[in-house]
Amino acid sequence: MYKVLVVDDEPLMLEGWKTMVDWQACGYELCGTATDGEEALALIRACDPELVITDIRMPVLDGIGLIRAMKEMGYGAKTIIVSAYSDFSYAQKALCYQVDRYVLKPLLTEEIHSLLLDMAASLEDWRQTAASATKMQADAAAEAIVGLLGNGGPAAVDMAARLLGVNERTRFRLMIAESIGGSDDSESDRSPLIVRMKTLTEALFIDGARAWSFEESPGLAGLLIIDNDLNDEQFEELLEETLVKKGWPPRELALYCSEAAIGLMTVPKLYRQALEIRSRALLGSNAGIHCYRDRKVTGPWCLEEMTAYVGELLHSIETNDLIGIDRSVDGLVRLFDKTGAQEGLMKTAVRHIRGELLRRYAELGANHKEATDWLHQLLDGTESGDKASWTSTSLKRLSMKATEHFTVKEPSARTNGNAITEAIDYLKQHFRGKIRLQELAGRFHLNPTYFGQQFKRETGYSFHDYIHRLRINEACKMLRRTDMLVSEIASALGYHDTEYFTAKFKALSGKLPSSYKYKRQG
């Protein structure tokens, strides 16, 4: 679909564009309408259309002025001018700004459809050219960054500065991502690591900040990030929240973050910091966020002990072992006392514990919003690891509050087992409809979090993963036994978005739905 914006100061004309044109049949998506050029510019910034259709005479900013402003701003969208005036001077002005088409009102619906279909080929060429140019620019930037990672001299710095559009006052930080190991969790993102880093960039920097992804070696990708406003703690908080919203970090991904520093000359130092924190693998070789600033308060003499105590504490929380919580926290505090940097180490441990609790809670079937809401609720009234000194008492309080969400003391194991079996049977009968974990747990009078935990132990899959597997198994049967379209099968199985269904199908079966249908007919 090509995104199109229509601009006209006549309300009836705009209504006609909305209702009389079959955009989808022509391969287009109407992403917005505007009544003057200034309003149109705001929409262009927001939705970046590939085609702009504009009236020529409008108040505030006319069609020619709009196109001129677009070109000056760097937008290369195709343009069509529609006018009720046949004055050749307008056509001349339009040609000066490389307007693609100039047509006269009134237009018939058939003529509009013919025009749109005729424009499709040039739009596809433009899209591919733009994508190629963007890729070339990104590749050049990545190559320049990789050239800086060692000890790039002044020439390398100057070249990178020109490509990235930065200066000697720009502040950077560097982050490396590494694939830790495989996972059978179909919900995890299996895209190439460099693609996932680009996706993370888009999610992190929605307010105009910039970052460039690069691939240092297979299984090791990175981001060079412009970071002008955030201190270390704020950046880590933003990163953590973004990962949770994306459903990351999956268990096979670790992120190693440097400090912030001024100028491209500091990139080698930032890179060494990221590699150092990677080599020390703070808190062990675990997925998650590992920050260089934590290294300052951590000595090699306590890493293994700290890892062991944190692991014991998390296990005690999940099993509702209050004695184990006391023992683990007391052991951590004794360890911190030996380092002479108790507050810093406690904050490091708490950030890791908090992230692990959040990830594990989400694994039990809670969606991302529920998981973050639970985290905020958990910390409410408890000292925050980023704002105050943690003590043995406050960490024990946090841990005991967390047990309420992971375990319950009711009912008996035999009753629970029967309930899970009945729940599985229910899902096998009703998986085509919308089913929420909370509602199904309520049907069997179980705590939702506990139900999710027991369900995964019984089936080996999270609640949502199990439903997807039931649906995709059924989809395979329908593709081979019926003549239904892929979109019809998706809808019948509870997927309102065919593209999402296709992605799930490929993730679980390893093939596209179309390949199954072809196999049946071949």
Instruction: Show pLDDT as tens, one digit a residue, over the chain (522 residues).
Output: 899 999 998 888 888 898 888 998 899 999 999 988 888 898 888 888 999 999 888 888 888 889 888 888 878 888 988 887 665 566 666 666 678 888 887 778 888 899 999 888 888 888 888 777 777 877 888 888 888 887 767 888 888 888 888 888 888 989 888 876 544 333 444 456 777 777 776 666 544 457 888 886 666 788 888 876 677 777 777 777 777 666 655 556 788 888 888 989 999 999 888 888 777 654 444 667 788 865 544 444 455 566 677 778 887 787 777 777 878 888 877 776 665 544 555 666 676 677 677 666 666 665 556 666 666 666 654 444 443 456 777 778 778 777 776 654 344 333 445 788 888 888 888 888 888 887 888 787 777 777 887 888 888 888 888 899 899 888 888 887 788 889 889 989 988 888 888 888 888 877 788 876 644 443
Tokens matching residue 115 = 């025009």
Phi, psi of 371 (to 5 degrees): -65, -45
Is 74 domain-assigned?
A: yes
Distance CA 179, CA 194 (A): 11
Say yes or no: 244 and 363 in one domain.
Answer: no
Tokens matching residue 507 = 């993730």
The candidate with the shortest Cα–Cα distance to 2, out of 133, 107, 128, is: 128
Picking from 295, 321, 342, the residue at the C-terminal end of a domain is 295
Say yes or no: 154 and 70 in one domain.
Answer: no
191 within 8 A of 199, measured Cβ to Cβ? yes
pLDDT at 38: 87
CATH code at position 195: 3.30.70.270
CA dihedral 135, 137, 143, 144 (to 10 degrees): -160
Distance, first Cα to last Cα, the chain: 30
3-state secondary structure of 366: coil
Say yes or no: 10 and 124 in one domain.
Answer: yes
Is 142 domain-assigned?
A: no
Is 135 domain-assigned?
A: no
Q: Where are the beta strands (DSSP E) in 27-137?
A: 28-34, 51-55, 78-83, 101-104
3-state secondary structure of 382: coil
Say yes or no: 289 and 158 in one domain.
Answer: yes
Tokens matching residue 293 = 């600033």
Distance CA 44, CA 76 (A): 11
Is 471 domain-assigned?
A: yes
Is 263 domain-assigned?
A: yes
CATH code at position 75: 3.40.50.2300
CA atoms within 13 A on the CB side of 30: 19
Residues 6+ apart with CB under 8 A from 19: none
Is 428 domain-assigned?
A: yes
Say yes or no: 269 and 183 in one domain.
Answer: yes
Picking from 101, 129, 157, the residue at the C-terminal end of a domain is 129
Say yes or no: 474 and 457 in one domain.
Answer: yes
Say yes or no: 383 and 468 in one domain.
Answer: no
Picking from 276, 295, 314, the residue at the C-terminal end of a domain is 295
Distance CA 518, CA 326 (A): 61
The candidate with the shortest Cα–Cα distance to 298, out of 341, 262, 332, 264, is: 341
Is 35 domain-assigned?
A: yes
Is 140 domain-assigned?
A: no
290 within 8 A of 284, measured Cβ to Cβ? no
Say yes or no: 340 and 383 in one domain.
Answer: yes
382 within 8 A of 398, measured Cβ to Cβ? yes
pLDDT at 484: 86
Tokens matching residue 201 = 């960039």
∠ CA 309-359-213, nearest 5°, is 105
Residue with tokens 């929380």: 317
Distance CA 297, CA 348 (A): 9
Say yes or no: 475 and 494 in one domain.
Answer: yes
Cα Rg, the chain, nearest whole Å: 28
Distance CA 281, CA 285 (A): 5
4 within 8 A of 23, measured Cβ to Cβ? yes
Q: Write out the residue range of the structural domain in which residue 348 sits.
A: 303-406
Residue with tokens 């912030």: 260
Say yes or no: 289 and 329 in one domain.
Answer: no
Distance CA 458, CA 466 (A): 11
The candidate with the shortest Cα–Cα distance to 25, out of 102, 108, 107, 112, is: 112
Say yes or no: 188 and 124 in one domain.
Answer: no
The candidate with the shortest Cα–Cα distance to 49, out of 123, 160, 142, 131, is: 123
DSSP for 337-361 reads HHHT-HHHHHHHHHHHHHHHHHHHH
Say yes or no: 203 and 226 in one domain.
Answer: yes
376 within 8 A of 357, measured Cβ to Cβ? no
pLDDT at 423: 87
135 in the Ramachandran plot: left (φ > 0), alpha (ψ -120 to 50) or beta? alpha
Number of domains in the chain: 4
pLDDT at 315: 77
CATH code at position 464: 1.10.10.60
